[in-house]
Chain A
């Protein structure tokens, strides 16, 4: 058996971690540094980039809010209840993760498109999902919902169900125990799931481009500019979304999610 001296072991871990960090950060940093402040200013002055950024961020927020409303109850049920077919339900929820996203777009089109099973019914009411903001939200919701449900479920699992038992004997209904006892303990995990979902939403391209090429979200705009005018033209929207995603991600995590307690702290 190979035995590492502790210092060598931790040094190897640090090297591996540093390589991984560099792998993730280098492309983003290279793009931002290469673009420079001038390019960033130029991006902010371009109307289509600003519109696209707002559309991307707001559509992802709407998708996340819808995901929260429908996903959190499901996550709670999956965390607390055993029922026949539970593993199947969990598999179905995770299906969008393994779907090629363009295939997800095609699949969504067959349901929500003008001739789709649901789209056909809603179209006469003026509700359409092709080439609309609703379609973008739908595509984002579909591909990113598993991130919220899975993370929220784990957050609820971490809350000892006996807290709810105590709350029930103190007069709370099941809903009351959830609102007053379980959610306040799990909210950070749920929020982490929501941030992940939002992040996945703003980066979505494949499903969105099939369902709603227009109006253009930032990923579609970046692709269109790259295809039509080359790398220089694609950089402004790309730089902008990377910066926004970085600020929101790191900001939310730093402000809202507390530092995980070490074992030493816990003892």
Chain B
């Protein structure tokens, strides 16, 4: 279990916090945020290599705020594995075994074998770190951290230096380790997809401030504010005003009116629409296809097209700019080109209303 209560960190004039976060045994937490948000500082504070200026840190129910790293019982894995280059893989894994109370050379060798097997690194034991791939290094780094019998695992961008193929295997390994050993994991990343794939609980840190904590789906679908919305890729953050007579209608500056799923109080309204929730037609759809009143349909012009994996991000000027994400095949079928006239539909259920500050 990891418990952070109002921790604050200061580094070179940059202040992080207050950060509150509770992770149960076996819970996988992801601290998500852009570069420079202060994520690694939080991780270093939990590991005990950086002091907090306020707040308390608990590991396995014990207040470790004032303890040195070696007394905190946390495992630490960095982006590039940081295997000790002067030791073999076996030497790296064995490093923390004495502290873990594994006495005797034979017992330590057996434990190294067991840990290597658990992370799929048995064949690597005699190799030097410099000869390993990024994914192999990370597997060994996880085994090394587990050797010291930690009560929590801290991972600093552990998948960033790993190719896509190895990343899937490592994600599966990390989830399995957390689940089988009942370890709380605090994983720091800037990668939204990684966070969605791994996290039970996700905390979004932007500019040193913890903006939202919750299950990743909740953060994706219901961001707490504009900064979170933009960071989790909502793209369409729209500022409008509630219609004078219809409490479920928001008018945008360009004239487009969007339906929302709940009634709003009069005044300004900030809306978030994920690009994959927006529908696109080359000709105005029949009312049935549009879903009648629940989908606001309005015309626009394609002003941008960019391929993103198997999808195409289409920028449509309505004149309020909207980003729409559709499968590449669908874009081909629609024959989308720059300047093409399209109709755009935004379902009321896809419109998230941001809480007003």
Decide if B85 touches A170 in the complex (CB within 8 Å): no
A15 to chain B, nearest CB (A): 36
Residues from 267 to 298 in B contacting A, C-beta threshold 8 Å: none
Q: With contacts A165-B76, A168-B49 known, is A173 near B84, CB below 8 A?
A: no
Residues from 133 to 159 in B contacting A, C-beta threshold 8 Å: 144-145, 147-148, 150, 154
A184 near B: Cβ within 8 Å? yes
Residues from 145 to 194 in A contacting B, C-beta threshold 8 Å: 160, 162-163, 165-173, 180-181, 184-185
Across-interface contacts of B78 in A (CB, < 8 A): 162, 166
Q: With contacts A162-B82, A163-B82, A181-B84 known, is A168 near B98, CB below 8 A?
A: no
**Please, how many angstroms separate the alpha-carbon atoms of A252 and B99 in the complex?**
37
Across-interface contacts of B99 in A (CB, < 8 A): 170-172
A170 contact from B68, B147, B154, Cβ within 8 A: B147
**Please, how many angstroms separate the alpha-carbon atoms of A164 and B72 in the complex?**
15
A119 to chain B, nearest CB (A): 43
Nearest-neighbor residue (CB-CB) of B74 within chain A: A169
Interface band, chain B: 20 to 34
Nearest-neighbor residue (CB-CB) of A164 within chain B: B49
Nearest-neighbor residue (CB-CB) of B84 within chain A: A181
Interface-centre pick from A160, A169, A180, A184 (highest chain B CB count, 10 A): A169
B45 to chain A, nearest CB (A): 12
Count contacts on A: residues with CB < 8 A to the other chain. 16
Contact bitstring B81-95, A, C-beta under 8 A = 1, else 0: 010111000000001
**Please, how many angstroms separate the alpha-carbon atoms of A184 and B74 in the complex?**
24
Tell me whether chain B's interface is mostly helix, strand or loop, or mixed. loop
B95 contact from A160, A162, A165, A167, Cβ within 8 A: A167
Across-interface contacts of B85 in A (CB, < 8 A): 185
**Please, how many angstroms separate the alpha-carbon atoms of A42 and B141 in the complex?**
62
**Please, how many angstroms separate the alpha-carbon atoms of A148 and B82 in the complex?**
27
B188 near A: Cβ within 8 Å? no
A83 to chain B, nearest CB (A): 15
Across-interface contacts of B82 in A (CB, < 8 A): 160, 162-163, 166
Contact bitstring A52-95, B, C-beta under 8 A = 1, else 0: 00000000000000000000000000000000000000000000
Residues from 48 to 89 in B contacting A, C-beta threshold 8 Å: 48-49, 68-70, 72, 74-76, 78, 82, 84-86
B144 contact from A165, A170, A172, A185, Cβ within 8 A: A170
B70 contact from A172, A180, A181, A184, Cβ within 8 A: A172
B47 near A: Cβ within 8 Å? yes
Across-interface contacts of A163 in B (CB, < 8 A): 82, 84
B42 to chain A, nearest CB (A): 14
B96 near A: Cβ within 8 Å? yes
Decide if B76 touches A166 in the complex (CB within 8 Å): yes
Contact bitstring A20-41, B, C-beta under 8 A = 1, else 0: 0000000000000000000000
B243 near A: Cβ within 8 Å? no
**Please, how many angstroms separate the alpha-carbon atoms of A170 and B47 in the complex?**
11
Interface-centre pick from A170, A180, A184, A185 (highest chain B CB count, 10 A): A170
Interface-centre pick from A165, A166, A171, A173 (highest chain B CB count, 10 A): A166
B148 to chain A, nearest CB (A): 5
Across-interface contacts of A173 in B (CB, < 8 A): 68, 70
List 16 A-B pairs, Cβ < 8 Å: A165-B44, A165-B69, A166-B144, A168-B68, A169-B75, A169-B76, A169-B154, A170-B70, A170-B95, A170-B144, A170-B148, A171-B70, A171-B98, A171-B148, A173-B70, A180-B95
Given A165-B47, A170-B95, A171-B148, 15 additional A-B pairs, CB 8 A? A160-B82, A163-B82, A165-B44, A165-B69, A166-B82, A167-B84, A168-B47, A168-B68, A169-B47, A169-B48, A169-B74, A170-B70, A170-B145, A184-B86, A185-B84
